[in-house]
Structure 1
Amino acid sequence: MAVPAAYPVESIDNAARILLMLLDTPALRVSDVASELGVARSTAHRMLTTLQARDLLRQDPATKAYGPGSNLAKLGLAVIGASDLRAEARPVLEKLVSDTAETAHLLVLKGTETVFIEGVEGPQVIRAALRTGHRGPAHASAAGKALLAEFDQEELRRRFPTARLRGGTARAVHSRRALEAELEKVRETGYATNIEESEPGLCAVAAAVRDRYGVAQCALAVSGPAERVVPQIEAIGRAVVAAAQELGSRLS
């Protein structure tokens, strides 16, 4: 039970109340916030846009409603803790390996890089190795593209301020425009691919893991030799999407 503050600061209290409204609904409208806090719509709008500026909230361009922003998701992930996330992901990764016979990893996005935080090695003699702790350019990885596809153009251009992208093999996208086109394909299919873009001979398929509010917290990826993965991309894609949905339900 929450304990009332002895000397409450109204602006902080209102911000906290707005964020706590997300426990009951994934989408906040200006009128709902104004009614809940007992303030004018203009005041509620300023509060929401202030939280949006800190990326604690994001506005849906179609509905104009506000939902959790990426910094709020990062805060939740920090509270959960990487060790707890790995524990939740482990059985999902094991099943993913069983379903695909390839190595599976759990990754998070840090700026413009992906970080491998957990993995289960596949059973094949020739297979992708575990890469826990490894970092790589997000635009040249399946998991990175799966997570970057969650952002709008404004956020992408904030993360990639120059038109030229560095890192990855010759097969990776090396311009922001090409990356934006690639991310549109990810949004259409629900999963991202890496066809020898991070390393020659290595391919991967990944999907974003979204929490109960629809905010991407991390990604699951399956990787292996190109000659095995490429012919099975669609089947692996379906398996990865199903696994990401299962892990998302565990994080809710």
Structure 2
Amino acid sequence: MSETAGVREVKSAARTVELLELLAARGDRPARLQELADELGVPRSSMYALLQTLVTRGWVRTDTTGSLYGVGIRTLLTGTNYLDSDPRVRLVRPYLDEASQKLGETVHLARLDGPDVAYLATRESHAYLRTISRVGRRLPAHAGALGKALLAERPVEELPAGPYEPLTPRTRTTRDALAADLAGIRARGYAVDREEGVTGIAGFGFALRYDTPAQDAISCSVPVTRLTPDHEAEIVTVMRETRARIEAATPPGGTVNWR
């Protein structure tokens, strides 16, 4: 049994979290009881009891036959509360609105979460060609402008050894290639993703340095078919200004220092 800060992990709580994470990772593919029991390595009877408890409380839902399971509405309500209670997200949202209106493109706020970034806010472009994004989406940090902007704020020694998962033919999959890119980001002051995370999409990411090291970043995503040199320069200018305004508006202290 693992320990955290000298406290033994509660097995039943860990199993509940693992189950919810497994169901969430399946997306629109509901799971059967035996699949879940096998995946988590627990007896079928124990899994059934856990599922029924979570169904009763709204954390898991089941179909009319009682044989398929997926995440329940309580997961959505809890996630929404996370966003509503986070002062950083509340502060940044209006600036995302302004940047999106100025540029006519999609802008994001994301937070580093282990090897990934999680999207916390998105303002979509009204143009016909739109990026694929949503709040709660996760992407490997090595494969996009948001993640690379945040990795560049950390020592190179903290990078995983690799190889890294390729999301497109342009994804950097080796530690040396990523480290070289991060060096350029530090010199330039922002990250660039040219179809590394999503084919056909370029991104420009800017770490928000109201925490040290930065945990959050903002970005602008644009279809490469719309990206001219002049538009790229405009995006960089507006996003730099947006970052500066957000950092200037962030009150010193006064918030919980979450780890």
- The percentage of aligned residue pairs carrying the same residue is 31
Find the aligned partners of 2:83 and 2:126 in 1 and give their Cα distance. Answer: 30
- The alpha-carbon deviation at position 139 of structure 1 amounts to 0.7
Q: Which residue of the other structure, out of 134, 158, 166, is the alignment partner of 1:131?
A: 134
Give the residue type in structure 1 aligned to 2:177.
A
Q: CA deviation at 1:141?
A: 0.4
Alignment of 1:105-144 (within 5 A): 105-144=108-147
Q: Structure 2: which amino acid aligns with 1:184?
A: A
Look up the equivalent residue of 1:218 and give its one-letter code: D
Equivalent residue runs for 1:41-190 within 5 Å: 83-156=86-159, 160=160, 162-190=161-189
Determine helix, strand or coil for the equivalent of 1:216: coil
Q: Which amino acid aligns with 2:158?
A: E
Return the offset for 1:204: 0.9
- 1:202-252 deviations in Å (ceiling 9; x for gaps): 1111100011x6541300011121121353323212221221121122223
| Residue pair 1:109, 1:138 contacting (<8 A) in 2 also | yes
| Matched-pair contact (CA < 8 Å) for 1:112–1:138 | yes
Following superposition, the deviation at residue 129 of structure 1 comes to 4.0
Q: Do 1:191 and 1:208's aligned partners in 2 also have CA atoms closer than 8 Å? A: yes
Structure 2: gaps of 5 or more residues? 1-81, 252-259
In 2, the alpha carbon distance for the partners of 1:239 and 1:182 equals 23
Q: Distance in 1 between matches of 2:96 and 2:84?
A: 18
Partner AA of 2:199 in structure 1: P
Q: Residue 244 of structure 1 corresponds to which residue in structure 2?
A: 243
What TM-score results when the alignment is normalised by the length of structure 2? 0.61
CA RMSD across the alignment: 2.0
Aligned structure 1 segments of 4 or more residues deviating by more than 6 angstroms? none
Mapped to 1, the partners of 2:228 and 2:148 lie a distance apart of: 17
Q: Which amino acid aligns with 1:225?
A: P
What is the 5 A alignment of 1:21-60? none
Q: Which residue of 2 aligns with 1:68?
A: none
Residue identity in the other structure for 2:103: T
Matches within 5 A, 1:221-240: 221-229=219-227, 231=229, 232-240=231-239
Scaled by the length of structure 1, the TM-score of the pair is: 0.62
- What corresponds to 1:10 in structure 2? none
Structure 1: runs of 5 or more not aligned: 1-78
Q: Distance in 2 between matches of 1:188 and 1:210?
A: 16
Letter in 2 for 1:203: A
3-state SS of paired residue (2:86): helix
Following superposition, the deviation at residue 82 of structure 1 comes to: 5.5
Q: 1:120 & 1:129 partners in 2: Cα distance? A: 12
